[in-house]
Structure formats: structure tokens, C-alpha cells
């Protein structure tokens, strides 16, 4: 049976700030992120299986990515907890804002690495994460490929 890649697309709105950056993205601002998740596997060949012909049900892939990423990052603001931004983050949290503290600089590169680890942990053993594409703006994106890592 052939290996087939399938892709599910997601979107979420997230704020961030790049501490120490020498441009406008040092300011707190937000993006409408778009995430493409591509997995690879062989379509189920057992015609008695309700998922006959599927690598993984798009709905099951959606449940994983939604729980691990979309529901966590959507309408949250992400700060690097290893920088003085942690003080701003705590102030916002105390005022009831949805703040995420991460242990990396929240660039699209670092976020896509984080997302790859989170998704890989929850995929069935016969399904492999092939690649992720995280689009930050209309003209900027980062990609993670299993074959590169």
C-alpha cells in the first residue's frame, strides 16, 4: 500500500512580543496564525474498519491539534518566561488575561518546533508527523519537516 500524506489546516489568533528584538516586533502585537499539519501513513485497507481508506480521520487529527495547540494558543498572548516580559505577563494574568509563558522566544520558528513535539506525542504509532507550516503573516512562515530533524 502506498504512503500518503494528508494535511489539515487550522487558524488561531495569538499575541506575542519578541523580547530584545531590534524591530517593531519587540512590541506586544498579534497575528492570525495559519497552521498546516501534514501526516503520513498508509490508508486503512480493512474494508470492515469504519475508517476504511483513511490514513487518519481528518476529524481525529483535528481533535489532537485543537486540544494541543488551537485551544491553548487562540486568543492568548505568548511571552518568553526567561525574559523580563515575565513581569508583564504576571500583571496581565493577575488582571484575568489569557497569557502563555513558554521557555523559548516566540518566533514562528520556535513555535513550530514546540507544535511538532506536542503533535507527535499524540499521534497513533502508525501515523507519522511529516511536516508543519506555520504562517505568521501573509508573507512570512516557518516550516518543520521530519526529514530535516
* 137 contact, one of ligand LPXRUNBV, Zn ion, none, CB 5-8 Å limit per kind: ligand LPXRUNBV
Q: Which stretch binds ligand LPXRUNBV (CB under 6 A): 3-11, 39-47, 103-111, 118-126?
A: 103-111
Residue 98 interacts with ligand LPXRUNBV (CB under 6 A)? no
Residue length, the chain? Answer: 149
Catalytic-role residue among 75, 87, 91, 97: 75
Residue 77 interacts with ligand LPXRUNBV (CB under 6 A)? no
Contact pick of 38, 108, 131, 135 for ligand LPXRUNBV (by CB under 6 A): 108
* 149 contact, one of Zn ion, ligand LPXRUNBV, none, CB 5-8 Å limit per kind: none
Residue 25 interacts with Zn ion (CB under 5 A)? yes
Confirm whether 25 is a catalytic residue. yes
Q: Which residues contact 1 (CB under 8 A, 6 or more apart)?
A: 42, 43, 45
Give Cα 28 to chain centroid, integer Å. 20
Applying CB under 5 A, which residues contact Zn ion?
Answer: 25
Point out the residues that are catalytic: 25, 75, 136
Amino acid at each position: 500500500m502506498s504512503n500518503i500524506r494528508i494535511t489539515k489546516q487550522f487558524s488561531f489568533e495569538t499575541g506575542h512580543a519578541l523580547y530584545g528584538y531590534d524591530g517593531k516586533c519587540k512590541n506586544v502585537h498579534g497575528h492570525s496564525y495559519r497552521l498546516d499539519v501534514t501526516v503520513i501513513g498508509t490508508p486503512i485497507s480493512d474494508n470492515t474498519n469504519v475508517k476504511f481508506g483513511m490514513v487518519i480521520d481528518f476529524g481525529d487529527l483535528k481533535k489532537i491539534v485543537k486540544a494541543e495547540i488551537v485551544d491553548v494558543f487562540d486568543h492568548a498572548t505568548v511571552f518568553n518566561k526567561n525574559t523580563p516580559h515575565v513581569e508583564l505577563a504576571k500583571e496581565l494574568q493577575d488582571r484575568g488575561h489569557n497569557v502563555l509563558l513558554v521557555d523559548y522566544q516566540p518566533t514562528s520558528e520556535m513555535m513550530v518546533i514546540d507544535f511538532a513535539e506536542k503533535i507527535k506525542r499524540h499521534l497513533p504509532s502508525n501515523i507519522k508527523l511529516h511536516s508543519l507550516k506555520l504562517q505568521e503573516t501573509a508573507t512570512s512562515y516557518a516550516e518543520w519537516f521530519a526529514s530535516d530533524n
